[in-house]
Amino acid sequence: MDLEFEKYFQQKLKEEQEVLKNLPYTKQQLQEIYRQTYEYEKTVPHLELKMESQLLDYEIVKYYVPQKWEMPREEGKLLYSDKELQRVLKLLVFNLGIKKSLDVIPRGMIEQYLKKNHER
């Protein structure tokens, strides 16, 4: 058995227990699903974020954007995990550029975030 995958699988079961409890899958079925996700994540292309916009191609998009947009979590969040949301956000920032992405966030919130995280 692959110990790295087993650790990944146990972590996913713990992180996503709220969503999983409402699904009709057996542990073996979940293991197969997560095995595919695990192998898939190992092949995701690296995106280096830059200040300026960068072009995308279909191959990159298919790795970062889910085929189906859902809101399965009870908290009213899109997709199945924050990690999935972050993956999509990273793709959007890559395509739009850091500068234009940050322009969407009010300056005061950025300053508040920087001040709070600089104190650590």
Q: From CA 49, how far away is CA 74, in angstroms rounded?
A: 31
Query: What pLDDT is recorded for position 69?
Result: 81
On whether both 10 and 37 belong to a single domain, the answer is: yes
Q: Considering the entire predicted model, what is its pTM?
A: 0.67
Examine the pLDDT at 91 and tell me if it is beyond 70.
yes
On whether both 35 and 22 belong to a single domain, the answer is: yes
On whether both 110 and 72 belong to a single domain, the answer is: yes
Q: From CA 43, how far away is CA 7, in angstroms rounded?
A: 18
On whether both 61 and 118 belong to a single domain, the answer is: yes
Residue 77, domain extent? 46-120
43 pLDDT tier (thresholds 50, 70, 90): confident
On whether both 53 and 86 belong to a single domain, the answer is: yes
On whether both 51 and 39 belong to a single domain, the answer is: no
On whether both 9 and 59 belong to a single domain, the answer is: no
Min mean pLDDT across 49-53, 64-68, 89-93, 113-117 is at 64-68
- Total structural domains in the chain? 2
Residue of 43 and 101 predicted with greater confidence: 101
Instruction: Give me 47's structure tokens.
Output: 């995106």
